[in-house]
């Protein structure tokens, strides 16, 4: 496993909203080469994704005909406003083509949205083959108390996420002390079945005992699901009574 570390102050992410993505993947095994049909299909697909995802916060679609058909999926985090969603997906569509100009399989992750396309139909399939993981470098001071509370909150919101009416989203908070609240959010892409969603979230949360161990905050972003917890409010509506904010985080990307 090839780990790539870099320091990334969260403040930067929050202020610069016309933002850098959290990560991207350009599959070098899927070079388009001189096939301009695929390129054109990707551009048309992205135009459709940007237009339609604005109203539904989610789209899974395809464009073109065999053998140059391309499949695409875009989804926003379920708690963000349609305005933020729309601008996130616009950024994603623009950036993914700049960053992966020559690949038929490309993915881009932001905090508010995720976008991918591929020549191979991936829709409806769980994919945890590559993940972007962030952890806060600060550790909790009372892991014996913290970890069970984190586990309980995660269990609760994971079970919410797989209920059809929640469209893959689960979020919640637990007061750990009068001054400290734990916030967590999980989300699956909406093309997944309940069982596949549960599986993706289980794999994501499976990183907690190793990568995230005792950290004050952690994020796992896969192509099929997103999991995050923090000791400060990060999902909408923001908790007006809690002004805690993030400290420095370390980003780890793998494989």
Ligand X SMILES: *[C@@H]1O[C@H](CO)[C@@H](O)[C@H](O)[C@H]1NC(C)=O
Interacting positions 127-186 with ligand X (CB under 6 A): 137-139
* Nearer to ligand X (CB atom), residue 26 or residue 250: 250
* Nearer to ligand X (CB atom), residue 72 or residue 233: 233
Cα torsion angle, 220, 242, 7, 84, sign: positive
Q: Could you tell me how many residues of this chain bind ligand X (CB under 6 A)?
A: 7
Interacting positions 203-222 with ligand X (CB under 6 A): 214
How is residue 215 annotated by DSSP?
B
Residues 85 and 183: their CA atoms lie apart, in Å, by 21
Minimum gap (Å) between residue 208 Cβ and ligand X: 13
* Nearer to ligand X (CB atom), residue 36 or residue 139: 139
Identify whether the C-beta of residue 97 lies closer than 8 Å to the C-beta of residue 43. Answer: yes
* Nearer to ligand X (CB atom), residue 99 or residue 156: 156
Regarding 243 and contact with ligand X (CB under 6 A), the answer is no
Residues in contact with ligand X, shown as a per-residue x/- string from 221 to 240 under the rule CB under 6 A: ------------------xx
CA proximity to 59, closest of 76, 44, 83:
76
CA proximity to 32, closest of 126, 85, 100:
100
Q: Is 234 helix (H, G, I), strand (E, B) or coil?
A: coil
Q: Which residues bind ligand X (CB under 6 A)?
A: 137-139, 214, 239-241
């Amino acid at each position: 496993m090839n780990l790539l570390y870099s320091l990334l102050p969260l403040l930067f992410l929050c202020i610069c909203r016309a933002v850098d993505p959290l990560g991207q993947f350009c599959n070098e095994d899927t070079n388009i080469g001189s096939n301009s049909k695929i390129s054109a299909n990707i551009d048309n697909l992205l135009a459709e994704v940007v237009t339609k995802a604005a109203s539904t916060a989610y789209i899974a679609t395809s464009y073109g005909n065999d053998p140059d058909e391309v499949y695409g999926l875009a989804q926003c985090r379920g708690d963000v406003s349609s305005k933020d969603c729309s601008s996130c997906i616009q950024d994603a569509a623009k950036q993914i083509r700049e960053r992966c100009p020559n690949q038929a399989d490309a993915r881009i992750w932001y905090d508010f949205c995720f976008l991918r396309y591929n020549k191979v139909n991936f829709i409806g399939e769980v994919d945890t083959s590559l993940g972007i993981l962030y952890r806060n470098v600060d550790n909790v001071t009372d892991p014996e108390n913290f970890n069970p509370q984190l586990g309980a909150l995660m269990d609760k919101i994971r079970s919410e996420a797989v209920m059809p009416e929640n469209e893959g989203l689960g979020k919640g908070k637990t007061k750990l002390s009068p001054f400290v609240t734990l916030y967590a959010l999980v989300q699956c892409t909406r093309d997944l079945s309940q069982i596949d969603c549960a599986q993706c979230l289980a794999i994501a949360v499976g990183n907690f005992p190793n990568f995230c161990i005792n950290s004050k905050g952690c994020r796992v972003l896969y192509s099929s699901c997103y999991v995050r917890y923090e000791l400060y409010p990060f999902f909408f509506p923001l908790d007006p009574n809690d002004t805690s904010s993030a400290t420095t985080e370390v980003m780890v990307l793998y494989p």
